[in-house]
Structure 1
């Protein structure tokens, strides 16, 4: 009964992470309580021990807390990371008992509902805009939707992530009705966010997907159509957000440059372990005279990691990215199953989008986005986890039982060294017993 409640609670939190991001964290706490009652702690620790990149990253977070300039603040930041990481581990474990197709349908449903609300915002004008989202000259004339994710750039990054998986999965409209609706709604909403960074992430992700997929033509045509539509709606009227000149003159872009300088100064002040995890929002504005209020993140994931976790964090973060991508490419090289292939392709494309978007924004570290990302990351890691368990036959076989070892122990040189054939056999048996005990 508790196991069933845990499974459904996890699914509900995945939905809430998109539809009600703030409330979703209360759901995460409930999921942890159910996981403890269901005696899943050992299974979760096993998942964590097998996921070396995540384990190393959590250790680096601990170091960041220890060497933080504000320990209490960093403890708060570490708690948020642990909530995300813990929910990720629960999902990876629970997805072994849930059909991947059903779980993916839940992700599609959440996105479709968010998109419907976003389109309603645009049609009704029932939304609240902040001056920092647009150039000060176009404030009040440019309407950017954000749906349930509170910010148009966060919503755009989420849509780019969702479209990466959707286009990797898509086969035909008739066979994938929910997915088709999701792709159409997500495409419309991505354009209505007017997010240059979000579209850059989308473009990079779909370009990588074109390289990974065997059926490239349809994806390439779709990418060309979306690029044309984005340029068209951002190059006409009172606002022009598509040209490079517009980017240089845009007050929101200049504001972002100032934030980057402040984040770089934070890193220079504490280059080894950084200021401490979760301290950016407080210390960033002190790094520049032109920043006068609290800023949640540094609008660049690489500078964010450098500022908060220093050189140690940058190395660990690079290892995490490289290891996860290498595992995905290894699965594709091994000719993964069709249900696994689109997940791996979609996530690699999604990661490429995040890497590009991370140059100009850090929305993946925003609490409203990080939990959403965990839902997709867990899907990918579930596939990785299954393949990680499939150790090659040669590695499963104890060393002393491998043909080469047997031939060596029966060779003349071994007989001469050990003194007799019986001694060789005893040595062989002794090594075999040790292998099985290990």
Structure 2
């Protein structure tokens, strides 16, 4: 796939790949990523018309993905606002599938996968740069904190700032940073060239520092699980780094330590709020076990289960738990399909990691396992994959991992 984009047929795979580079770069910044994504889809459909369905590769988890798409579509039947749920379904699950299939199909070489990861990392650098600039403007940051109620001021009176950059709020940004850290750390471990290893170390350290500044406690715990994955799969000596946590907490008495230790306090209001939402969401699931309350309709239905929220006029978009949120939205069968698809990627990433001799693919495999683990752990106390940017980033990364597996599978079968 060489040569200028302008000298090739408009429907060439090269052009589709170029559009995918633009999509993954734009994901954390703007919803305009839909423009190159839709164009890539139209070009791919034209190629299917010319070459047949054999043009597309869907991946080894196609049954689970198709089952989730069907269940989430059928859940619209139960939505109080069916038009909204259908519209939301088209822009989220359907577009997940489009981006995923396009990457699995057209990221068909090591160079393309490498360039996709470079596009992700380039975007991550800009997210960090903008976020640091934003973080240093303390007056504007304090205004944002107060306007969005991102922290309990009575519990954390000295916490004036939280890093969030272009990702709408600190918790969404934290999940994005977790995903990027999972991969940058994995590539750092396997990189042999000194200059590239140094750059990856700087990138990983920058991501970790920015992650700390989000003050997202669930994300901090998830970061420890990334390290645990590295220790289990790469080198058990990495577990020694976990000893730094109590040392840092003992000697550093700043807001990071205060925020972290608050996890173990019975007085923490956000933890109590979550338990209340979880109980109410379980009631919601018991009332709609098969199809859920409708894709994206959680915020419309939840007030029926929480009188205080209804009286206060507060909007609750999700259950602050990934597992309960998915079940509430699409029902138990849909949730089974979703998590079959979600956790199924660990199996294929592990195969890529174990069987590949190429360190690039080993890093992809390890990074994918770490990212799935981190988001799964973070999902116990939050549901950040409801965000368009965060979820699209996640499924694009999973598609790169699946594409790597499909490529390795074809190589083994030759």
Q: How many residues align?
A: 389
Q: Unaligned regions of 5+ residues in structure 1, if any? A: 394-438
Q: Does 1:330 align with 2:347?
A: no
1:23 maps to which residue? Answer: 32
Q: Which residue of 1 aligns with 2:20?
A: 10
Q: Give the TM-score taking structure 2 as reference length.
A: 0.84
In structure 2, the residue matched to 1:364 is: 385
* CA spacing shift, 1:229–1:27, aligned 2, 3 Å: farther
Query: How many angstroms does 1:195 deviate by?
Result: 0.8
TM-score, normalised to structure 1, is 0.80
> What corresponds to 1:408 in structure 2?
none
- Contact 1:96 1:382 survives alignment (8 Å): yes
Structure 2 partner of 1:64? 75
Q: Residue 301 of structure 1 corresponds to which residue in structure 2? A: 322
Higher relative contact order (CA 8 A, sep 6+): 2
Distance in 1, Cα, partners of 2:249 & 2:39: 41
Post-superposition Cα deviations, 1:50-75, rounded to whole Å, max 9, x if no partner, equal 73332222222233234545432331
SS at match of 1:164: helix
How far the C-alpha of 1:133 sits from its partner, in A, is 1.8
* Correspondence 1:108 to 2:125: no
- 1:20-47 Cα offsets, whole Å, 9 max, x none, are 1322234422332333344488356542
Q: 2:177 aligns with which of 142, 159, 173?
A: 159
Structure 1 residues 375, 334: closer, same or farther in 2, change over 3 A?
same
Is 1:147 aligned with 2:165?
yes
- 1:358: how far off? 0.6
The yes-or-no answer on 1:87 pairing with 2:96 is: no
SS at match of 1:133: coil
In the alignment, which residue of structure 2 is the partner of 1:351? 372
Q: Distance in 2 between matches of 1:46 and 1:92?
A: 6
Whether the 8 Å contact between 1:108 and 1:179 is mirrored in structure 2 is no
Shift of 1:225: 4.1
> What is the CA–CA distance in structure 2 between the aligned matches of 1:81 and 1:280, rounded to whole Å?
16
Q: What residue in structure 2 maps to residue 433 of structure 1?
A: none
Provide structure 2 residue ranges, at least 5 long, that are not aligned to the other structure: 1-7
Counterparts of 1:227 and 1:111, CA distance in 2? 29
Please identify the structure whose Cα radius of gyration is greater: 1
User: Could you say which residue in structure 2 is the equivalent of 1:73?
Assistant: 84
Q: Is the 8 A contact 1:163 1:183 kept in 2?
A: yes
For 1:186 and 1:11, locate their aligned partners in 2 and report how far apart those are by CA, in whole Å: 21
1:86 CA displacement: 0.5
- Which is worse superposed, 127-136 or 354-363? 127-136
- Judged with a 3 Å threshold, the aligned counterparts in structure 2 of structure 1 residues 114 and 311 are, in CA distance, closer, same or farther, namely same
Distance 1:228 1:104 in 2: 34
Offset at 1:93? 1.8
Give the CA deviation at 1:317: 2.5
Matched with 2:153 is 136
Aligned-partner Cα distance in 2 for 1:314–1:16: 29
8 Å contact kept, 1:302–1:359: yes
Q: Are the counterparts in 1 of residues 57 and 105 from structure 2 also a CA contact under 8 Å? A: no
Change (3 A) 1:75 1:139: farther
Report the alpha carbon displacement of residue 221 of structure 1 after superposing the two structures with TM.
5.0
- Note the alpha carbon deviations across 1:161-192, whole angstroms, 9 max, x for none: 11111111113652334322211210110111
Q: Does 1:33 align with 2:37?
A: no
| Offset of residue 378 of structure 1 | 1.7
- Match of residue 261 from structure 1: 279
Residue 139 of structure 1 deviates from its aligned partner by: 5.8
Q: Is the 8 A contact 1:145 1:192 kept in 2?
A: yes
Equivalence for 1:424: none
Residue in 2 that maps onto 1:252: 270
Distance 1:69 1:199, change over 3 A: same
Counterpart residue number, 2:5? none
- The alignment's C-alpha RMSD in Å is 2.8
- The equivalent residue for 2:187 is 169
Taking the aligned partners of 1:185 and 1:237, their CA distance within structure 2 comes to: 19
